[in-house]
């Protein structure tokens, strides 16, 4: 019962907070379409919470992967946006 209540609170509080945080971060570093990236991060998280709450047969690894998918995709896009356009020199470590 406590886990269900915690999941509901996470779903209601963290999902909008995640959307807002990703939107403002994407706007700050000039990622293309920040509104879309906010949705890409928040919707899978909310879907993962929904799977946890309403689907008894969903494996926990699938729930976790679903909830993290949007966040990971945004992190990759953020890294590409902030990356250097020059090719790496052979034998050098990137900063």
Cα Dmax for the chain: 56
* pLDDT score recorded for residue 95: 55
Tokens at residue 47, please? 């879907």
Tokens at residue 69, please? 């998918």
* Long-range Cβ pairs for the range 21-24 (8 Å, 24+): 22/71, 22/74
Per DSSP, 56 falls in state: T
Q: What is the pLDDT of residues 44-70, one digit of tens each?
A: 999 999 999 999 898 999 999 999 999
37 near 31, Cβ under 8 Å? yes
Residue 27 CA, distance from chain mean position: 16
What is the chain's pLDDT, residue by residue, as a tens digit (95 residues)? Answer: 888 898 899 899 999 999 999 999 999 999 999 999 999 999 999 999 999 999 989 899 999 999 999 999 999 999 988 877 777 677 766 55
């Amino acid at each position: 019962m406590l886990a269900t209540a915690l999941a509901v609170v996470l779903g209601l509080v963290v999902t909008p907070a995640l959307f807002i945080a990703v939107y403002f971060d994407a706007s700050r570093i000039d990622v293309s379409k920040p509104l879309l990236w906010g949705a890409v991060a928040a919707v899978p998280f909310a879907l993962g919470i929904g799977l946890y709450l309403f689907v008894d047969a969903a494996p926990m690894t699938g729930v976790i992967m679903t909830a993290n998918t949007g966040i990971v995709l945004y992190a990759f896009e953020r890294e590409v946006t902030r990356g250097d356009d020059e090719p790496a020199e052979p034998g050098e470590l990137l900063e």
